[in-house]
Amino acid sequence: MDCFPPAGPRTPETPSAAHRPSAPGSGRRLRRPAGLVAVATAVATAVATACTTGFALPADGAATSVAASEVVQRQFAAAAAEFGVPQSVLLALAYRQTRWESHQGQPSTTGNYGVLGLTQVDVAAENAATAGRTGAGRDSHERGDGDPRRRRGPVAPGPIAPRVVDSPALHTLDAAAGLLHRPAEQLRYDTAQNIRGGAALLAQYQKAAGGPASADPGQWYGAVARFGQAGTPGRGGAAGRAFADRVFETVRTGASRSTAEGQRVTLPATPGLVVAEPPGSTGSRAVPSTAECPVGLGCDFTPAAYALTDPNDPTSYGNYNPANRPEDGEKIRYIVVHDTESDYAGAIASFQNPAEQATAHYLVRASDGHVTQLVHTRDIAWHSGNKTVNMHSIGIEHEGFALPADRPTWYSEQLYQSSAELVRYLAARFGVPLDRQHVIGHDDVPGPTQDAVPGMHWDPGTFWDWNHYLELLGAPIGPGIDAPPRAGDTVTIAPPFDSGNQPPVSGVPARPENFVYLRTRPAADAPLVNGGGTRADDWSDKAVAGTGYVVADQQGDWTAIWYDGQKCWFANPGGRNARTTSSPLPGLAPLIHLLGLAGRTVLTPRPGLASIPVYGRAFPEAAAYAPYPAIKALPVVALSATVPAGQAYLAVDGTPEPGDFFYDQNINGDAPDDRTLVVGKDTYYPIRYNHRLAFLKSSDVQAAVQLPSSGKR
């Protein structure tokens, strides 16, 4: 069946329309008989399924009942036989590309389509869309120290925004369509043709690599490596091998899952498979690299800019601070996930420009999972917009730009796989816990000052699959107690990332999302908290998968948490959207610590205080600067937020840390007291305050420890 989207261009909605929910009752509705509605719905559903999975409908329009959930499995078998490709290799390759998800024909953030992740990017259109951006408007605040005295130096004139660099990697869908003699657009939406196109490309790569047309999966390593490099032998060879290694690992171990569209796909394990790699491929993995990376990931090192923007001003440098973490006392506590809003090459170019005033430590390429290190982990990259977080974190950028600009949909599986492998390595090396209190998004970083709050970023977005990412980290959201929690319990937000959780987001079609909406009372028609709306960038009314909170109340299918200084409700029927992770044990905190038992620390205002201040950063008190006369103390100023008496919030760590500030004045480190770490006596607990983290002074709080819950109530 040939399926195409409706004719005509998709026009982005204007902000005034796209970001404003419809008023209840607006517009006229025609009443139709219930039976007619049911028939129309069934036919529409069948047609939509046919267009996504590629099977034909019978003449009478009724959906076929013959193994409808096995259609995609049969399409893989047919395509493998047609093009002489081992079915296990084709299945494993698609699993590593998309986990067999079609995403209903919608593109990834880098223009991948269908279960084979074939690419189609209009390079000219993307570059035109970004041509008006300038360095001053992009990430110029990512240093995050909030010091208005520091001069930035003049910004380079003209557009310096990242641009999309054309390559065959952006046009594999067109290449596959040419091999099939089919319209390229058909391969976006028709799963059968998308799979056929991927099989045709793989067969072509096998021939180009000089491999035999063999039924032995072990003879296809070179072709799979080329697929991981979009058919270009010289492009990121190590990444292509890393992709091939993952594919053949899946062939050996097997895989089975149901997709978001209800398709059951299974790849039986072949544990004894012997892979014949092309000559020289094994040895080439051992090429030395200066990158701090897991063995076998094939990382390279491309230094970010450390240079002046004004040759007459030694303070006008970017894009990071030389340091000696963690030996100098700056413990690495967080790993921050970003996306680039550019392609890989454009991001590299951006981070080599000191006028950008921004860089991360690492960059992950979407097409093949290749990792580039930009800044040594010992140094402080300017990536989060918050000095405290920058000092104590490692930032990882992930290639992704919106296609179309206002409708990003999904991140590539290769990107998830490489990023997770990198994070596991970094977490083990620096002792960072693998949970959502420490592996955070840019959207979790608090504004350091009240003025900075509106400009804080919201990447990696509502469609980053935290559930899957945590599974890859080896730290899945645990089962907890699948029952409604009680007031005082701590819970982990855990909506499924599938068709069962598709909250409306302005400007995009229904799709799995990583959050639950928070409302002012326990009802579906209650207003969203903070006057929030359904825009993806409105983080004020969303609780995201993996984040932890203290339960304030429970009524029927609704759970309330303490969030942003108020009681906020989310739908949680049967405990489906949250996991109860610990229960209070009043008065037992000293015993719990004495016994060395793991628990979660919950903070409340110290008795006698009506409310306590919330801070966006953890800077030292003024007295801590006294030994360093050249350093002028930055003020310790709270945000406008507070924690009222009676509310409770989950601490990120069980013990508070002293406020600190790394002074970094001149590019050569030659100013008086330059490159000095100032450590205060005031200590702070980082907490999960709302969508973002925040800080509470330990002198303002009372701490209690809760033990993990287990079993059913």
Same domain, 132 and 99: no
Contact 397, 364 (CB under 8 A): yes
Work out the number of other CB atoms within 10 angstroms of the CB of residue 449.
Answer: 17
**295 and 152 co-located in one domain:** yes
Query: Could you tell me the end-to-end alpha-carbon distance of the chain, in angstroms, rounded to an integer?
Result: 51
Same domain, 183 and 155: no
Residues 197 and 256 in one domain: yes
Domain-embedded: residue 15: no
Strands (E), 532-593: 542-544, 548-555, 558-563, 566-571, 578-584
Note down the domain range covering 557: 480-583
Task: Please check whether residues 245 and 389 belong to one and the same domain.
Answer: no
Task: Cite the DSSP H helix spans in 254-311.
Answer: 281-284
CA dist 460 → 410, 445, 466 (Å): 10, 12, 10
CATH number for the domain that contains residue 346: 3.40.80.10
Rounded distance, CA 163 to CA 132, Å? 11
* 3-class SS letters over 525-542: CCCEHHHCCCCCCCHHHE
Query: Closest Cα partner for 650 from 560, 563, 543?
Result: 563
Q: Would you say residue 597 lies in a domain? A: yes
CATH number at residue 89: 1.10.530
Conformational region of residue 252, where left means phi above 0, alpha means psi within -120 to 50, and beta covers everything else: alpha
| Domain termination site, one of 254, 284, 314 | 284
117 and 133 together in one domain: no
Evaluate whether residue 10 is within a structural domain.
Answer: no
CA 409, CA 560: separation in Å to the nearest integer?
Answer: 29
Averaged pLDDT in 10-residue chunks for the chain of 713 residues: 33 27 27 30 37 42 61 98 98 97 91 95 79 40 62 42 74 97 96 98 93 93 88 62 92 95 95 81 52 89 96 95 97 96 88 93 92 97 97 96 73 94 98 97 96 93 95 86 83 92 91 96 98 94 97 96 98 91 59 55 97 98 97 95 98 96 97 97 98 98 81 49
User: What pLDDT is recorded for position 435?
Assistant: 96
Q: Which pLDDT does position 594 carry in this prediction?
A: 47
- Number of domains within the chain: 4
498 and 508 part of one domain = yes
Which of 284, 317, 335 delimits the end of a domain? 284
Same domain, 538 and 645: no
* Amino acid, res. 202: L
Farthest CA pair distance, the chain:
86
Residues 197 and 88 in one domain: yes
Q: How far apart are CA 446 and CA 456, in angstroms?
A: 7
User: Distance between CA atoms of 145 and 140, rounded to whole angstroms?
Assistant: 12
The verdict on residue 24 lying in a domain is no
Q: Within a domain: residue 190?
A: yes
Last residue of a domain, one of 564, 583, 602: 583
Six-digit token pair at 560? 């309330």
Q: Does residue 18 lie within any of the structural domains?
A: no
On whether both 226 and 330 belong to a single domain, the answer is: no
Please indicate, yes or no, if residue 114 is contained in any of the structural domains.
yes
| Whether residues 159 and 174 fall in one domain | no
**Separation CA 631–CA 623 (nearest Å):** 12
Task: State whether 681 and 627 are in the same domain.
Answer: yes
Q: 221-228 vs 191-208: helix axis angle to the nearest 10?
A: 120
- Are the C-beta atoms of residues 679 and 620 closer than 8 Å to each other? yes
